[in-house]
Chains A and B, each alone.
Chain A
Amino acid sequence: MKKMKTLQQLALATLLTSVFFGVAVEAKVQQNVTQKAKKAPKQFYAGWYMRIRASATTSTGRTFHHDTAGVFGELVQSKYKNDRHDIPSYGAATFQVVFPHYDWEALSGDYWSDYRKYRAGKADARAVYTFQIRNQNTVDLSNASLKLYVDEAQNVKYYKENGQVQYVETDTNPTLQEAFTLVDVDNQKTYAIDEIKDVDFAMDSLHTRTFRLVRGEVRKKDFDPVVKP
């Protein structure tokens, strides 16, 4: 013979469904992801990255995309200066997103990624990522419209296997990009990230357009052009 459910149990159940239901569902979904994940050594938070995607459309309607680079972020294993996670760009292209680093002496040049060191507790520290849109090859895009997109931050964990650091991309963090402001260096304008999807930045008769993504306070020098030595 069974006992009736106690009033306290009923109250708890009602509370869960009526007040905390949304939170509870999220927690359970997350738990399920963990259960189904491939068994691996203990994982630690490594940092995050975002991807800048760009597209240019000519007056004839021909559109060029670049969405395989434009990666910037922070990793525990990276440095503020050049490190092995800064991928050098290769070759000229009609249309591409690059991070110019003329400050890296022998390693001076354009990069397809720009990783800095992740420091726990310094997630809000001011940071500036300079990127340029390049139109280098035979198709002239100087009069094209220009759209920019910044994808949600991708969280990254790492684990060590045979002494080797391995990365695992876990979930996205949609709030991280809210801390950034886009600076249109050529036009001396700023934009919140959530408004850039509606903006036609235009190539403005240029073959190189310069922008900065600034976390924290935007300062006067963030509007300075990139000067190639």
Chain B
Amino acid sequence: MNIFKNKSSKDFPKWFFPFVFFFSGSVAFASTQTYVYADNFDTVSYANNDGNLSFAAGWVENGEVTNQSAGKIRVTGGVLRFNNLDTVNISRTLDLSDTTITSVTLSFTYNSNGATPEQLSVGLWNGTAYDYFLIPAGNTAGSFSQVLTTAQISSVSQIQFRSDAADTSWTNADTVTIDNLKFTVIKDTTDADGDGVFDRSDIDDDNDGIVDSEESKIDLSVFRLYGDASEISSSEIELTPASANQWGSAMSYNTVSLSKNFSIDAQIYLGTNDGGADGISFVLHNDSRGALAIGNGEGSTLGAMANATTAGIENGISIEFDTYQSTTGSGDIANDHTQMRDTDIAFNNTGGAITTVTDLGNIENGAWHTFHVEWNPITHVLSYTIDGVAMPALTDASIVSNYFAGSNDVYFGFTAATGGAVNVQRIRNVQSTELKDTDSDGIYNSLDLDSDNDGIPDNVEAQTTAGYDTPSGTVGTNGLWNNYGTGLIPIDSDEDGVLDYLDSDSDNDGYTDCEEGNNAAICPVTTVTANGMVDWANESGIIDYSDTNGNVDASSADLFNETGDTTEVGYREILCGKEMITLTHYQWRLISMSCRTGSNTVSDLLGDSLGVYGTDYEVWKQSGTDGYKVNATHLNTNKAKLLATDTMTQGNSYWIIIDAGGAGLSKKVTIPKTLSGLRPTDQSISTSIGISDPDFKKIVRFSVPTNDPVDEKKYMSGNPYPYRFELSNLYFSPVASGKSGYSQMGNIANDAYINKIVYKHDSVETGPVTGYVAVDPSTPGFSGSILPMEGFFIKMEISTTDNDANFFAFPLMNKNAN
């Protein structure tokens, strides 16, 4: 199952969803252990090691001689005692450099006795200075717990106890004791691919050559930008500029399911003005507006929450990073702060608080702050960190009904707002290490050797066919094959924005990669092994990560090749396409060939789809001796019926009429890809003939009849590629005397040679009913596409001076499906 909903149909083939995947085999995954550095002070010693890990050294005093049994600081009565402390302090070092460490928590109990002003503090070394936390003073006892930040976890981590810096008035009556001191360390030694590099340090957890950050990356296109939000780059979004009364959002188009684990990482930027406003909110919600959900215009709501008069995002939880005190008495403290809030309740209503406020000091400091949020459906904990520091979490087994109106599926995203005070507020590098499971097989892409379940391993699809480099040699200390440098840069053959290793149809020709990919292919796929590979795509018997390219050892030789040529393998080769055009009963239609058909006959090409030639279908071509003149008194042209054994010419179009078996029935046309002699339509670089169009890079040219004294001469042409294109992307060249170069259809430069309008058949009704439709990119209301295998006709204008060849240059728009 995938936690993303509403995927586009392009993401998966139609046959995908009805099938349930069965798993075979298993791979060992998550492995976490708990370790403890401890000092129970049961022995009068500064070198106690009461946990299963040992401190790097014993306690060291500063300000008096280090002595565990005498002085202002000493071990006595089973506790560490501080008396009349003033400027004396004590510290101890521990090595937390182990890269498998995921979290460290300091805890101890305390008992304070004496005058209130005299207060002990505990410090944690952050590599530059101690971060201090006060221990409650007065006659009080309790326990202390603090999660260490990333900076506090190092090979020279230290703990220190000292008097509060401003307090040097201790007396003999002032005593604080500490007991049961522990650093609880969680280590994750998972090594999914068994390459000897733990996943926490492994940048390629499945050894497929594509680094995890690439496989986990959330393309910012998953977000709908709204309001004042704008895209800064492919990885960065500005939610608000530094202008008054702005608000914007980046909200997911699709939902995430609370029935599954998920985590999201991002960096957030709150600006440089400490007096600025108002902050950023991460939101999970089930607002009926979906990706367009946003709060109201008041800056204090951060674009997420309600205010006193207007609703905010409905049915949601906000994790706010609030940089402005908009009101008092509602938990909105003066310093920058964070907490979880209910977006349905006004920002200044204490009833909206879900967790307690945490003071963040100043986060409008020009720095990017790391944000991590995760949901655990087993423990029902929604937790988050900012700059590695854990913030108060929400534990709620009824979170779905309490906050999301009963829906397990929620949208996620970021909002921000400004008021009278302003700041630039942005997010970038949004990632999800666990969200992305493109093929919905239950294995996240970073651990999935075949992320689109097409039977072609990610390692193969990420690389060009000609340049394929097998995983070999040694794996580096970062967990990546050394021969892949900093990681493979996955390619997108059809430039449709979906990388091949995630694209179920890498050449957009209608055949799935499964159908025209692996030589061992059995489609549709039903069984996936624990490494994410389709069962038949594994090397025999290997279902772990020790053979990441499965049974494709040499990319070109082990993959299907329809034409048998050496140009490209099948799943990337642009051939004729599958089900390129649909013909209805007795419909007249103009069709063209979507590939080079060689010596194949009409019945070879169309018989499989349409039946017996002359009975189930007929094809006619332009013919006759009347010069194809088309005008008010001569509306058509002479035709000649093709023989079943005739060949068809690419670039031309033909009339076709079929008997589909009755009114309302239809047939889809596929030129059989196994026919001998089929070849891809030629592809020339468009700039080589002077066409520079940002929409495409390659073209094929076909000659158009010369302009002669026959005015409005009819010419029948058609789409030569298995892809749809806009008529405005078709170029024409008259190559007339003193004139050369190509101009887009509709350009007045063509007017003397060719009519700017092309005509296609309009209706799906029986022949005599059929009308026509005009396509003219230069007239509003008449723009349009030419579909794969679709023909059209156009009228040539009279020319008395030019008998040179004319040309159409058809664009290769392989990013367009049919």
Contact = CB atoms under 8 A, between A and B. Distances in A.
A85 B779 contact: yes
Interface string A50-92: 0100000000000010101101010100000000110110111
B297 interface: yes
Contacts of A115: 779
Nearest to A151: B781
B779 A84 contact: yes
A175 interface: no
B325 interface: yes
A2 interface: yes
Contact of B245 (A13, A36, A88, A164): A13
Interface string B714-752: 000000000000000000000000000001100111010
Given A3-B275, A35-B230, A138-B769, A16 B780 contact: no
B245 A167 contact: no
A151 B334 CA distance: 55
B747 A154 contact: no
Interface centre among A5, A66, A92, A94 (most CB of B within 10 A): A5
Main secondary structure on chain A at its contact with chain B? mixed
Interface centre among B231, B421, B772 (most CB of A within 10 A): B772
Contacts of A35: 225, 230-231
A13 B419 contact: yes
A87 B768 contact: no
Contacts of B771: 66, 91-96
A93 B635 CA distance: 12
Contacts of B334: 1-2
B324 A2 contact: yes
A91 B635 contact: yes
A113 B275 contact: no
A167 B772 contact: no
A120 interface: no
A38 B255 CA distance: 28
A28 interface: yes
Nearest to A36: B225
B30 interface: no
A125 interface: no
A141 to B, nearest CB: 10
B570 to A, nearest CB: 34
Interface stretch (A17-25, A188-196, A197-205, A219-227): A17-25
Given A4-B328, A5-B325, A71-B782, A18 B420 contact: no
B756 A21 contact: no
Contact of B769 (A2, A28, A137): A137
Contacts of B387: none
Contacts of A94: 763, 765, 768-769, 771
A113 B782 contact: yes
Contact of B298 (A17, A25, A92): A17
Nearest to B782: A87
Given A93-B772, A94-B765, A13 B228 contact: no
Nearest to B663: A62
B356 to A, nearest CB: 19
A12 interface: yes
Contacts of A51: 781
Nearest to B295: A17
A139 B296 CA distance: 57
Contacts of B247: 28
B166 interface: no
B202 interface: no
Nearest to B336: A2
B299 A28 contact: no
Interface string B744-788: 100111010000110100110100111111101011111000000
Given A18-B309, A21-B297, A90 B780 contact: no
Contacts of B231: 35-36
Interface in B623-661: 632, 635-636
B780 A13 contact: no
Contacts of B756: 84
Contacts of A2: 274-275, 324-325, 334-335
A6 to B, nearest CB: 7
A171 B769 CA distance: 34
A28 B227 contact: yes
A169 interface: yes
A16 B781 contact: no
B310 interface: yes
Interface centre among B274, B635, B773 (most CB of A within 10 A): B773
Contacts of A137: 768-769
B245 A87 contact: no
Contacts of B230: 32, 35
A17 B512 CA distance: 51
A87 B325 contact: no
Contacts of B421: 5, 9
B87 interface: no
Interface in B321-356: 324-328, 334-335
A174 B743 CA distance: 35
A85 B298 CA distance: 48
B520 to A, nearest CB: 44
Contacts of B225: 32, 35-36
Given A1-B334, A66-B771, A87-B776, A164 B748 contact: yes
A17 B779 contact: no
A21 B296 contact: yes
A196 B465 CA distance: 60
B229 interface: yes
A5 to B, nearest CB: 5
A32 B226 contact: yes
A169 B774 contact: no
Contacts of A10: 326
A54 B780 CA distance: 19
Contacts of B328: 4
A75 B780 contact: yes
Interface centre among A94, A115, A154, A165 (most CB of B within 10 A): A94
B781 A139 contact: no
A71 B765 contact: no
Given A91-B772, A167-B778, A167-B780, A13 B762 contact: no
B762 A9 contact: no
Nearest to A165: B778
B307 interface: yes
B300 interface: yes
Contacts of B769: 64, 93-94, 137-139
A41 to B, nearest CB: 14
Interface of A: 1-6, 8-10, 12-14, 16-18, 21, 24-25, 28-29, 31-32, 35-36, 46, 49, 51, 64, 66, 68-69, 71, 73, 75, 84-85, 87-88, 90-96, 109, 112-113, 115, 137-139, 154, 156, 164-165, 167, 169
21 contacts: A1-B335, A2-B324, A4-B325, A5-B326, A6-B420, A12-B420, A13-B245, A16-B297, A17-B297, A18-B309, A21-B296, A29-B227, A31-B227, A32-B228, A68-B773, A69-B774, A84-B751, A90-B774, A112-B782, A164-B747, A164-B749
Q: Closest 9 A-B residue pairs measured CB to CB?
A: A93-B771, A9-B420, A71-B781, A13-B298, A68-B773, A94-B769, A16-B297, A138-B768, A85-B779
Interface of B: 225-231, 245, 247, 274-275, 277, 296-300, 307, 309-310, 324-328, 334-335, 419-421, 632, 635-636, 743-744, 747-749, 751, 756-757, 759, 762-763, 765, 768-774, 776, 778-782
Given A35-B225, A68-B762, A73-B781, 9 more contacts: A3-B275, A32-B229, A36-B231, A91-B772, A92-B635, A94-B769, A164-B747, A167-B778, A167-B779
